[in-house]
Amino acid sequence: MKNQSLASSISCLLVITLFFFWTGCAKPPSPHHPDMLPPGEKEFFLAEKAYTDGRSEDALKAYKDFLKQYPDHKQTPSALFKLGTLHAAQGEGSKARYYFDRLTQGFPGNGLVPEALLAQCSSFYAENLPEKTLGCIQNIQDRIHTEEIRIRLAFLQADTLSELKRMPEALETLIMAFDTAPNNLQPLLVEKIFSQTRSMDTGDLEALFDRAGQPEPRAILIFASAVRLAETGRYRAAEDRLQFFLETFPRHPRKNMAKDLKKSLKDKEEIDPLAIGCLLPLSGRFEAFGIQALRGVEMAMAVYTNREDALPVRILIEDTRSDETATADAIRLLDKRKIIAAIGPLAASPESIQVAADHGLPLITLTQQEGITDIGPLIFRNFMTPSMQVRALVSHAMNRQNLFRFGILHPDDSYGQNFRDLFWDTVEDMGGRITGVEAYPPRSTDFSEPIRRLTGLHLPIPEDLSSSETEDKDKTSGPAIQFDALFIPDSAQRAGMILPQLAYNDLMGVRLLGTNLWHSPRLIEMAGHHARGAILPTGFFAESQNPHVQEFTSLFLETYGELPGYLEAVVFDSLMLFFHTLEQRPYSRSELAEFLQKTESYQGVTGPVGFAENRESLTPPFILEIRGSSFREINP
């Protein structure tokens, strides 16, 4: 498929071609009735009428009929040219070239020949055949003697070279064309030269300074090189280049643009716009997590740098040593190395994140701690938090499963209490009800008592109801379950002990809900069939049918011999998002943060990656269900 610039170029060439044709050829007379015209003129007039009325098929037939009857008529060259133009407009390049070739070979002295030669080459370009386009241009250059056609031929050659990624040659073609361009076409050529510089780096532009014989192309190259310097973060060099431009070309039309750009660079920090830092615990108690994250970094670099259009990004890795002081020192060191942004640290305190905020360093943090993005406007989070898990779980239970009454059975520790409160608040906010809550000691192995309390079986029967008839009823009625689903926020191992005891205590027929800790084969091994139907959130699912996930998982498995986990996947996504943002050429750290904020759902392996107004992740967790002896993704 051709890109937008290709389509624009083709449109431009067609417009110019038609302009010269309509203004350079005399129109046939317009009699009161075609029958008044002599033989041949009448048929040509009717073909022209169909053409000007936009009736392409009628025009094609009429011109061809005219050629059959009058192959040597004075209007034959015009008919051949119009047939070529009509076929080209319909995307029929070979047919167009057939008629253009008949014109150029059969009527070499006709005034339409230069237009037809150019149109032949343009038809190859329209068919996305750049090598044939260049060959055609080389074959006709000596036959083009009018400057207008030569300039348009240079435009076509430059566009074709650009398609072949031969940017310096494309720009040099335009610069050489300027030397012989008539005054009326020079402004158009100047704009084309400036547009061409947008796809080139500073070194390539500087290499062409001496090739620009005329002041105007040289001025454009100098100004464009200053813009490239600014876009790549070399602000002081850009200021010097702009100053040279203003001194050398004080009356240039772009002098005000140069002044404004020079002024805007005064307060910008000097940074390396292609350098990204990674803050990872590669030693200390969190070393295992650091190694996992490093794999995500390696995968992102391997995938991105394999692209033909990849930027020459650099990754600077610093070991935080699983220590807060070392983390703060690593942030300061990366700041001194003028990186544009960083990912990490893992599980860091607000104090270390504050160091990055104080130095104006954008971070995509990888921590669950709530409120971390409130530290500063450059702090982002791309990591699944407890509140994200609970929102996704409750939303699925209520909106997809039609469950509205919930019980909570949780460990009496900080993890269980935090998830209890989040779940309770979220259920009530969404219009549901909590109808039972019980806790158990964190290291408990017997859960019968809290389970019985949830169902009311632990309550004594009043004496006035303790007749033998009531006792018989109680034996058959079972527990009084007042909820549709039961939320158990605990580890896979602990849940693996709890689930069979639910059935033993007759607590059955309710949907079981867990946290991402349940996403472990250990749960299914321990609980067996009692885990079937359980629902849980997770940040990444390697068995997903999503093509992005499958490609990533396959490459990871081939590289490391095992399936990737959430940490590898979220680091991969965070770094790929940075690469995607750097392709927008941010001038500064603050501008990069603005681009990140505006990212509209970059498609990652953890899902669509984007940020809310408070810079919190908008990536929804995967929702899984245990079916049989495996986890299955539930499509959103």
Q: ∠ CA 479-485-487 to the nearest 5 degrees?
A: 105
Q: What is the pLDDT of residue 589?
A: 87
pLDDT in tens, 424-450: 999 999 999 999 999 999 999 999 999
pLDDT at residue 475, as a whole number: 47
pTM to 2 decimal places: 0.62
Work out the mean pLDDT of the chain and round it to a whole number: 88
DSSP class per residue in 30-92:
--SSGGGSPTTHHHHHHHHHHHHTT-HHHHHHHHHHHHHH-TT-TTHHHHHHHHHHHHHHTT-
Highest mean pLDDT among 214-218, 401-405, 588-592: 401-405
Name the pLDDT band for 265 (thresholds 50, 70, 90): confident
Query: Above 50 in pLDDT, residue 2?
Result: no
Cα–Cα dist 296/578, whole Å: 13
How would residue 269 be classed by pLDDT, with cut points 50, 70 and 90?
low
Question: With 80 as the cut, is the pLDDT of residue 135 above it?
Answer: yes
Lowest mean pLDDT of 96-100, 246-250, 453-457, 488-492, name the range.
453-457
Q: What is the DSSP letter of 250?
A: T
> What value does the mean pLDDT take over residues 232-246?
86
Instruction: Give 374-428 pLDDT, tens digit per residue.
Output: 999 999 999 999 999 999 999 999 999 999 999 999 999 999 999 999 999 999 9
212 pLDDT exceeds 60?
Answer: yes
Q: What pLDDT score was predicted for residue 126?
A: 93
Q: What is the mean pLDDT of residues 263-278?
A: 83
pLDDT at 19 over 70: no
Judging by DSSP bridges, how do beta strands 363-366 and 511-513 pair with one another? Answer: unpaired
pLDDT for residue 15 = 36
- Name the DSSP class of 467: S
Q: How confident is the model at residue 33 (pLDDT cuts 50, 70, 90)?
A: low
In the predicted structure, residue 291 carries a pLDDT above the cut 80: yes
* Residue-level pLDDT at 237: 84
Query: Which of the pair, 181 or 609, is modelled with greater confidence?
Result: 609
- The pLDDT of 188-194, averaged and rounded, is 89
Give yes or no for residue 14 having a pLDDT over 70.
no
The three-state secondary structure class of 364 is: strand
The stretch 78-105 carries a mean pLDDT of 93
23-32 long-range contacts, Cβ below 8 Å, gap at least 24? 24/111, 24/115, 25/78, 25/111, 25/112, 28/75
pLDDT at residue 16 greater than cutoff 60: no
Which residues are CB-neighbours of 538 under 8 A, at least 6 positions away?
516, 519, 566, 621, 622, 624
Average pLDDT over residues 220-245: 87
pLDDT band for position 478 (cuts 50, 70, 90): low
Write out the E strands in 196-319. 272-280, 314-319
Instruction: Inform me whether the pLDDT recorded for 112 exceeds 90.
Output: yes
Over the range 495-508, which residues count as b (16 or more CB within 10 Å of their CB) and which as e?
bbbbbbbbeebebe
More confident residue, 468 or 53: 53
